[in-house]
């Protein structure tokens, strides 16, 4: 793509992710995606791995997995590819073209993801999705069903001072003015749900206030 054309298209819209498209062009996303990537502690080398990105949005983490050597990356989304403003698929499509990426894509709701529909992947990413789920337990179960080796999950957390697995419910727009924010689980709740869903070992990392990343292994 022509550099000037890419630049014009990038700055003609709003973005969620900050994606380095080369030639000095970085999408002006409101999310500090490179910092989040560091906080996730994802494997630096994904050579030969298959990766599923659930809730890909603008695709920053899908493209990051591709750069780290993944043999196949499938980006999936539904809600954030079908709303308005920055919440459309236009950002993903533009970034994919500008990067010359081979990342695959599928428009599908989390609830519709099954091994029959998408396949099974070595690494599954579900980043910034869980607290939007009305039934977060089912989302982890779905992720487990299509995961062969490792799930990387990042989420808002709450109730960390409570000694047992627990979640805080946010009615209306009480969390950050967003009516799609439903739950703030604590670390123990996320770990417990992962173990219940067939993962054998879970590691957790706090990377920002009330934000945690989890690595769950089969």
184: tokens are 């703030």
Q: Is residue 75 part of a domain?
A: yes
* CATH assignment of the domain containing 103: 3.40.50.150
Cα(23)–Cα(38) distance, integer angstroms: 23
Q: Is residue 14 part of a domain?
A: no
Average pLDDT of the segment spanning 115-136: 98
Task: Kindly report the number of other CB atoms within 10 A of residue 23's CB atom.
Answer: 11
Q: Which residues pair with 174 in a beta bridge?
A: none
In which domain, by residue range, is 204 found?
32-217
Helices 90-99 and 60-67, axial angle in degrees (round to 10): 20
Q: Is residue 7 part of a domain?
A: no
> What's the total number of domains in the chain?
1
According to DSSP H, which parts of the chain are helical?
3-10, 33-40, 60-67, 90-99, 115-118, 136-145, 187-196
Radius of gyration of the chain measured on its C-alpha atoms: 17
Q: Is residue 39 part of a domain?
A: yes
How many helices and strands (H and E) does the chain possess?
7, 11
Q: What is the pLDDT of residues 143-202, one digit of tens each?
A: 999 999 999 999 999 999 999 999 999 999 999 999 999 999 999 999 999 999 999 999
Mean pLDDT for all residues in the chain:
97
Q: How would residue 78 be classed by pLDDT, with cut points 50, 70 and 90?
A: very high
Q: Is residue 4 part of a domain?
A: no
Q: Is residue 21 part of a domain?
A: no
Q: Is residue 9 part of a domain?
A: no
Cα(209)–Cα(131) distance, integer angstroms: 15
Q: What is the pLDDT of residues 91-113, one digit of tens each?
A: 999 999 999 999 999 999 999 99
Q: Is residue 16 part of a domain?
A: no
């Amino acid at each position: 793509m022509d550099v000037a054309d890419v630049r014009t298209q990038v700055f003609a819209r709003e973005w969620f992710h900050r994606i380095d498209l080369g030639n000095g062009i970085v999408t002006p996303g409101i999310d500090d995606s490179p910092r989040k990537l560091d906080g996730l502690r994802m494997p630096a080398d994904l050579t030969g791995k298959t990766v599923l990105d659930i809730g890909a949005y603008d695709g920053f983490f899908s493209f990051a997995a591709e750069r780290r050597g993944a043999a196949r990356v499938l980006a999936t989304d539904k809600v954030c590819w079908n709303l308005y403003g920055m919440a459309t698929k236009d950002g993903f499509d533009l970034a994919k073209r500008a990067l010359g990426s081979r990342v695959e894509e599928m428009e599908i709701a989390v609830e519709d993801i099954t091994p029959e529909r998408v396949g099974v992947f070595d690494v599954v990413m579900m980043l910034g999705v869980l607290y939007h789920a009305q039934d977060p337990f089912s989302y982890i179960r779905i992720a487990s069903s299509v995961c062969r080796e490792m799930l990387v999950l990042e989420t808002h957390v709450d109730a960390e001072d409570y000694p047992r697995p627990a979640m805080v419910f946010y009615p209306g727009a009480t969390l950050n003015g967003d009516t799609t924010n439903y739950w703030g689980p604590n670390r123990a709740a996320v770990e417990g749900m992962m173990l219940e869903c067939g993962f054998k070992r879970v590691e957790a990392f706090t990377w920002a206030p009330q934000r945690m990343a989890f690595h769950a292994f089969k």
